């Protein structure tokens, strides 16, 4: 058994400038980011770092084509550290670049995932409050060539340091806040229920859940799309804690069932998780009404000021106020897709399904998709 361990140094700063001074960023460093983050927050500091802007290689979540083009462009650059500044896409790409040898393409990394070595020191600065990816060793790539969104994991893919900089969230659009904080909340719940969690990982799950629910409740009470910004430091911390929790305990069926929605219909990660969340939880309750899910209900009841038997419904209602949940069909999903998804998920997502609160059969997965449709 591998014990709970935090492999990444976690540092907290108020500004990017403080971080840049502390890490002495300079010409040997490659900053992997988006230009809309770089121009206002980093460029004025005149650090002289090398840069690579992800959006020049395509939009949306990382694909094998996007990452291969980036690897090709980096082959003749000399840099020591990778400084990844961004959301899940940037972070996932940076983890792959950190372990790619000069000859590697994405398929090579999946083929040799057990022997990957780190070629560049990696520092991650998250600019959303969702993925927790700065403290996990997984990168999720949509392998377009194979028609599947798959996680690549390796001990070498842990960042050496994560810099948590509150004011990097200042310009986050509301929809990105909503989907990323929903993702973090689901990381907290899935890791809390995971049979592969431990007493320590559950401390992080619980702290993340309490913090996110409090921040959401206050943001909703205060109304308007800007209200969450008063709690941005809390949301950033909570997403990091949820990352520490699921980095050990794992995510589960919600993530597994949401992957086809991302890879086929390009629904953003956090939102696709929201589309599956309530119906996965309802199926869990139906199959195994007594178990750790009751501890979760008690915790939610305490946070949301309701009775345990109403707590999950209260959570769905609060999530709806953060971002209205829509049926799968409104994203273009066809009814004929559902059996295909239900068949593929158990074949491709065992990495996640092994962390389910209860095992789910293909037939039960199909019922969940139909309920969400
Ligand atoms: Fe996630």
pLDDT digits (tens, 9 = 90+) for 236-281: 999 999 999 999 999 999 999 999 998 889 899 999 999 999 999 9
**Is pLDDT above 90 for 151?**
no
**Average pLDDT value for residue range 175-183:** 96
Question: What CATH class has 9-169?
Answer: alpha beta
Judge contact between 255 and 186, C-beta under 8 A.
yes
- Residue 263's pLDDT is 84
**Average pLDDT value for residue range 46-51:** 98
* Cα 220 off chain centre by: 23
**Average pLDDT value for residue range 43-72:** 95
Measure 172 CA to ligand 1 centroid, in angstroms. 18
SS3 164: strand
Phi, psi of 33 (to 5 degrees): -160, -165
| Cα 114 to Cα 111: distance, rounded to the nearest angstrom | 8
Query: What average pLDDT is seen over the chain?
Result: 96
| Cα 67 to Cα 96: distance, rounded to the nearest angstrom | 8
**Average pLDDT value for residue range 196-200:** 98
**Is pLDDT above 80 for 224?**
no
pLDDT band at 61 (very low <50, low <70, confident <90, very high): confident
- Residue 150's pLDDT is 82
What is the number of alpha carbons within 13 Å of residue 116 lying toward its C-beta? 28
**Average pLDDT value for residue range 198-227:** 96
Measure 232 CA to ligand 1 centroid, in angstroms. 19
pLDDT band at 147 (very low <50, low <70, confident <90, very high): confident
| Cα 311 to Cα 303: distance, rounded to the nearest angstrom | 9
* C-alpha distances out from residue 86 to 49, 162, 183, 267, 270, Å: 16, 12, 16, 19, 15
Judge contact between 69 and 57, C-beta under 8 A.
yes
Measure 352 CA to ligand 1 centroid, in angstroms. 11
- Residue 23's pLDDT is 98
**Average pLDDT value for residue range 84-89:** 95
Measure 129 CA to ligand 1 centroid, in angstroms. 11
- Residue 64's pLDDT is 95
pLDDT band at 148 (very low <50, low <70, confident <90, very high): confident
**Is pLDDT above 90 for 2?**
no
**Average pLDDT value for residue range 146-171:** 92
Q: Start-end ranges of CATH 1.20.1090.10 in the chain?
A: 174-372
- Residue of higher predicted confidence among 163 and 171: 163
**Average pLDDT value for residue range 46-70:** 95
The 8-class DSSP code of residue 63 comes to B
Tokens 């996680």 found at: 151
Measure 150 CA to ligand 1 centroid, in angstroms. 13
Cβ atoms < 10 Å from Cβ of 282: 17
**Average pLDDT value for residue range 71-90:** 95
**Is pLDDT above 90 for 297?**
yes
Phi, psi of 51 (to 5 degrees): -135, 155
Burial class (CB in 10 A: 0-12, 13-18, 19+), 290: exposed
Judge contact between 181 and 130, C-beta under 8 A.
yes
Judge contact between 130 and 180, C-beta under 8 A.
yes
| Cα 108 to Cα 143: distance, rounded to the nearest angstrom | 12
Measure 361 CA to ligand 1 centroid, in angstroms. 22
Measure 176 CA to ligand 1 centroid, in angstroms. 13
- Residue 314's pLDDT is 98
Measure 209 CA to ligand 1 centroid, in angstroms. 14
Measure 146 CA to ligand 1 centroid, in angstroms. 21
Measure 82 CA to ligand 1 centroid, in angstroms. 23
* Cα 203 off chain centre by: 19
| Cα 170 to Cα 98: distance, rounded to the nearest angstrom | 28
- Residue 97's pLDDT is 96
- Residue 283's pLDDT is 98
- Residue 146's pLDDT is 86
- Residue 175's pLDDT is 95
Measure 187 CA to ligand 1 centroid, in angstroms. 6
Q: Start-end ranges of CATH 3.40.50.1970 in the chain?
A: 9-169
**Average pLDDT value for residue range 138-157:** 89
Percentage of residues in the chain with pLDDT exceeding 70? 100
174-372: CATH architecture: Up-down Bundle (1.20)
């Amino acid at each position: 058994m591998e014990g709970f361990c935090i492999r990444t140094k976690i540092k907290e700063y108020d500004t990017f400038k403080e971080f840049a001074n502390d890490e002495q960023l300079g010409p040997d460093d490659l900053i992997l980011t988006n230009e809309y983050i770089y121009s206002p927050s980093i460029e004025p500091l005149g650090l002289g770092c090398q840069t690579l802007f992800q959006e020049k290689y395509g939009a949306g979540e990382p694909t094998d084509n996007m990452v291969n083009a980036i690897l090709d462009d980096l082959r003749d650059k000399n840099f020591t550290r990778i400084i990844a500044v961004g959301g899940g896409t940037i972070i996932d790409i940076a983890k792959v670049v950190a372990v790619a040898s000069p000859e590697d393409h994405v398929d090579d990394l999946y083929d040799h995932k057990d022997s990957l070595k780190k070629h560049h020191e990696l520092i991650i600065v998250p600019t959303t409050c969702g993925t927790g990816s700065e403290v996990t060793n997984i990168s999720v790539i949509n392998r377009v060539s194979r028609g599947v969104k798959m996680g690549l994991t390796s001990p070498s893919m842990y960042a050496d340091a994560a810099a948590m900089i509150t004011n990097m969230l200042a310009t986050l659009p509301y929809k990105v806040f909503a989907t990323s904080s929903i993702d973090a909340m689901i990381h907290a719940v899935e890791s809390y229920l995971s049979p592969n969690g431990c007493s320590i990982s559950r401390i992080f799950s619980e702290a993340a859940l309490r913090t996110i629910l409090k921040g959401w409740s206050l943001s909703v009470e205060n109304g308007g799309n800007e209200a969450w910004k008063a709690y941005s430091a809390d949301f950033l911390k909570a997403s990091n804690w949820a990352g520490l929790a699921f980095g050990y305990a794992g995510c589960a069926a919600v993530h597994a069932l949401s992957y086809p929605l991302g890879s086929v219909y390009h629904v953003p990660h956090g939102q696709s998780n929201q589309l599956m969340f309530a119906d996965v939880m309802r199926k869990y309750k139906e199959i195994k009404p007594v178990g750790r899910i009751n501890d979760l209900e008690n915790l939610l009841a305490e946070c949301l000021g309701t009775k345990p038997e109403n707590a999950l419904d209260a959570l769905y209602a609060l999530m709806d106020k953060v971002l209205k949940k829509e049926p799968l069909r409104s994203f273009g999903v066809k009814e004929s897709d559902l059996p295909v998804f239900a068949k593929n998920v158990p074949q491709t997502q065992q990495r996640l399904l092994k962390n389910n609160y209860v095992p789910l059969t293909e037939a039960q997965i199909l019922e969940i998709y139909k309920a969400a449709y």
